[in-house]
Amino acid sequence: MEISKTDILIIGSGIAGLSLALKLKDLGDITILAKKRMFETATTLAQGGIACVMGEDDSFDFHIQDTLIAGDGLCKRETVKLVVKTAPERIKDLINWGVSFDKDPDNPQKFHLTLEGGHSKKRILHVGDYTGRVIENTLIERVLETKNIKILENHFVVKLIGDKNNSEKPSQVLGALALDLTHVKPIMFLAKVVVLCTGGAGKVYLYTSNPDTSTGDGIALAYNLGCRIANMEFIQFHPTCLYHPKAKNFLISEALRGEGAILLNAEGRRFMHKYDPVRKELAPRDIVTRAIDMELKKTGADCVYLDITHLPSDYIKKRFPYIYETCLKYGIDITSQPIPVVPAAHYLCGGIYTNLWGQTDISNLFAIGECACTGLHGANRLASNSLLEGICFAHQASLKIKEMWKKLKDQPFKEPKIKDPVIKEIKDEKVFISHNWDIIRKIMWDFVGIVRSLKMLEFAKKRLDFLKKEIEENWKGIYLDLDVMELKKIALVAELIIESAQKRLESRGTHYLVDYPEKKEEFLKDTVIIKKV
Ligand code: SIN
């Protein structure tokens, strides 16, 4: 098998992976593996923006408080403080790399700051309504012009390699076994440091705002190596994704509500005041999502509507050009028509357990961005804190890696003793694979979604246990086929979500269990799952 040696291996090419690579560029050679094309990331799809205290009426304390309130008791205060207080420095990093955030038209010396649900002040920096795309493209440009950094597209990581054989928990990561899907071959990457930046797991659900790449790969990789995984029951559903038969995962940014858009039910009536009389449409996402779910169930309608038509048409087109154009393609003119919307799986608040430097339980293995559980989001992420977490933890990890490098740089690469893998090919079984994909996503949507019950979770668990066993038996080993390899990952991640949800016998943040509708003191802690090795 081909062996490729690289000082630092970064798996994933969103804001976390790209900015980390730029921060480490002087250390040694860096390889970034992208599962598909390098820009196919959740970062690219992020519309709203990035939260940072900038306004004169704002303060770090307000941002900290808003994050803690959204997180519903489970945020780690020291993580929240760190991220909020270092945000201005990280915004400077982005600006220095070439991101140019929108300026306030009335005061061009200042940034235009917008509002989103759960924020008590305007503090979201943005570039129109395509902030993530601009950040992703700018970082990719910087990375491509940097000599020491290589991005390899169409490389899927099958497993991480530790320093012990399969039956023992490794103490150190040595690299990763990947499939080069373009040249159809396995490659063993040996690295002194491995960083997981693989994003979330929205594809586990039938409806999601996430890109196709969000299959929870990093979580499955870390779990299989023996890392702790935490808070997987906290799946954030975005309240407003476009409801249209031809639209796939198109988000209608919360920034519309920040600019005054209102929600209407199928009868054309406002309803948010019944669920959150003070914050109404700008309540945290879990509340707005459950309110929409209730209205849909009550009225039997397929969607609710988001109405921004009271704002001047020119303003809407200028402020939300991407959403305006995209909706128009589907025959909806948002300047004169309410937008049909439904909730969809959007963000994984839990993930690989990490410390303040992005370190996992295994030496030299880091996890940053959506795949990590740093304690910032608790039970529910505050809007526009995710790009921020990605770049803040890229910085944190870079500090630790630079410190470790003094020792690591002169150490030789350690070569694991593993046999060349047998790579199999899918013959005529594609329909079984797509069927299993659909079933898992439907089970998760129907029974482990916005509102859960113990009966639903038990039902989902039984179905999933059966499917997982079948998948393991039918497609044991390594296949040169992304769908089957991802299927194994989503089956495992779905299992972790169900298992975590069954452990939390209360309702908190994004986890709502009808059997236990209240919060309970005894559950004021992370739900930690440990791999039984
Ligand atoms: C949005 O624009 O509504 C998404 C922003 C986020 O998820 O933080």
pLDDT digits (tens, 9 = 90+) for 424-442: 988 877 899 999 999 999 9
State if residue 383 touches ligand 1 by the CB under 6 angstroms criterion.
yes
Q: Buried (b) or exposed (e) across 45-81, using 16+ Cβ within 10 A?
A: bbbbbbbbbbeeebeeebbbebbbbbbbebbbeebbb
Model pLDDT for residues 56-91, shown as the tens digit of each residue:
999 999 999 999 999 999 999 999 999 999 999 999
Encoded tokens for 39: 């820009």
SS3 264: strand
What separation in Å is there between the alpha carbon of 170 and the centre of ligand 1?
A: 37
pLDDT at 165: 67
Asked whether the predicted pLDDT for residue 331 surpasses 70, the reply is yes
Please report which confidence band the pLDDT of residue 494 belongs to, taking 50, 70 and 90 as the band edges: very high
285 carries an active-site annotation: yes
Write phi, then psi, for 248 (nearest 5 degrees): -110, 130
How far does CA 193 lie from the centroid of its chain?
A: 22
Asked whether the predicted pLDDT for residue 325 surpasses 70, the reply is yes
State if residue 386 touches ligand 1 by the CB under 6 angstroms criterion.
yes
Asked whether the predicted pLDDT for residue 532 surpasses 70, the reply is no
Asked whether the predicted pLDDT for residue 167 surpasses 70, the reply is no
pLDDT at 530: 85
C-alpha span between 421 and 337 (Å, rounded):
56
Please report which confidence band the pLDDT of residue 533 belongs to, taking 50, 70 and 90 as the band edges: low
pLDDT at 405: 97
Model pLDDT for residues 201-218, shown as the tens digit of each residue:
999 999 999 999 999 999
Q: Across the chain, what does the average pLDDT equal?
A: 96
C-alpha span between 346 and 203 (Å, rounded):
9
Q: Of 123, 285, 381, 508, which residue is the catalytic one? A: 285
Q: Give me the mean pLDDT over the 236-258 stretch.
A: 95
Contact 424, 480 (CB under 8 A): yes
Asked whether the predicted pLDDT for residue 158 surpasses 60, the reply is yes
pLDDT at 426: 86
Give the CATH architecture of domain 423-530.
Answer: Up-down Bundle (1.20)
What separation in Å is there between the alpha carbon of 49 and the centre of ligand 1?
A: 7
What is the residue extent of each domain of the chain?
A: 239-344, 423-530
Q: In the 8-state DSSP scheme, what is residue 448?
A: S
State if residue 254 touches ligand 1 by the CB under 6 angstroms criterion.
yes
Pocket test for ligand 1, best of 289, 386, 387, 388 (most atoms within 8 A of CB): 386
Q: Give me the mean pLDDT over the 309-321 stretch.
A: 97
**What is the third-level CATH fold of 239-344?**
Flavocytochrome C3; Chain A, domain 1 (3.90.700)
What separation in Å is there between the alpha carbon of 118 and the centre of ligand 1?
A: 12
Please report which confidence band the pLDDT of residue 169 belongs to, taking 50, 70 and 90 as the band edges: confident
Asked whether the predicted pLDDT for residue 353 surpasses 70, the reply is yes
Asked whether the predicted pLDDT for residue 284 surpasses 80, the reply is yes
Contact 79, 51 (CB under 8 A): no
Against a cut of 0.85, is the pTM above it? yes
State if residue 47 touches ligand 1 by the CB under 6 angstroms criterion.
yes
Q: In the 8-state DSSP scheme, what is residue 387?
A: H
DSSP 62-112: HHHHHHHHHTTT-S-HHHHHHHHHHHHHHHHHHHHHT--PPEETTEEEEE-
State if residue 255 touches ligand 1 by the CB under 6 angstroms criterion.
yes
C-alpha span between 177 and 533 (Å, rounded):
20
Model pLDDT for residues 33-65, shown as the tens digit of each residue:
999 999 999 999 999 999 999 989 999 999 999
pLDDT at 429: 78
Please report which confidence band the pLDDT of residue 402 belongs to, taking 50, 70 and 90 as the band edges: very high
Please report which confidence band the pLDDT of residue 166 belongs to, taking 50, 70 and 90 as the band edges: low
pLDDT at 420: 87
Q: Give me the mean pLDDT over the 238-243 stretch.
A: 96
What separation in Å is there between the alpha carbon of 381 and the centre of ligand 1?
A: 10
Model pLDDT for residues 267-282, shown as the tens digit of each residue:
999 999 999 999 999 9
pLDDT at 415: 87
Pocket test for ligand 1, best of 43, 116, 126, 252 (most atoms within 8 A of CB): 116
The helix (H) or strand (E) run that includes residue 483 is: helix 482-503
State if residue 253 touches ligand 1 by the CB under 6 angstroms criterion.
yes
What separation in Å is there between the alpha carbon of 77 and the centre of ligand 1?
A: 22
Q: Give me the mean pLDDT over the 88-107 stretch.
A: 97
pLDDT at 365: 98
* Residue from 287, 339, 251, 323 nearest 118 by CA: 287
